[in-house]
Amino acid sequence: MADGGAKILVLTTGGTIDKSYFDALSDYKTGDPQAPRLLEIARVACPYEVRELMRKDSLDLDDADRAAIAAAVAESDAGRIVITHGSDTMTQSALALGEAAAGKTVVFTGAMAPARFAETDAPFNLGMAFAAAQVAPPGVYIAMSGTLFPADRAAKDRARGVFVGK
């Protein structure tokens, strides 16, 4: 590991990764953060801390929420940060970090299907983001669809349900 095993900060904001069924109509709500459970199941030995920032669908995030994410990144002593986030506006939030991420490795990730589902990309994406945070040089990235993208070169292809480079 590049920085001798320093603790990774995991910030949760909601999104599909944290969604669960809400009622008999199959409506969803953003529930408890799933990152702690997924990291425990994966038996992650690297030190980490999980901090919940909010529980929102990314389509409901506004500039004040993005400012709160940026403030949490800027105020943290952690040099390596993973942020779980909804996929619809992940790129927008990643780009909003600006100077808050200076000198830090920040990796956004999420899921196309809730982590509670049997067929979900959540564990893979979180694992990839966690690994990338340990080895990638400082910058802001998106870890989705089996690829690590610089934040300014990622886009969600809604028709295919994957992230692609742009």
User: Which residue numbers are catalytic?
Assistant: 16
Q: Is residue 130 exposed (0-12), middle (13-18) or buried (19+ Cβ within 10 Å)? A: buried
Q: Is residue 4 exposed (0-12), middle (13-18) or buried (19+ Cβ within 10 Å)? A: exposed
Spatial distance between the Cα atoms of 63 and 150, rounded to a whole number of angstroms:
21
Task: Output the CA–CA distances (angstroms, integers) from residue 91 to 4, 5, 7, 57, in the order listed.
Answer: 29, 28, 25, 14
Spatial distance between the Cα atoms of 69 and 81, rounded to a whole number of angstroms:
11
Strand spans (E) along the chain: 8-14, 19-21, 28-30, 48-56, 80-84, 105-109, 139-144, 147-150, 154-157, 162-165
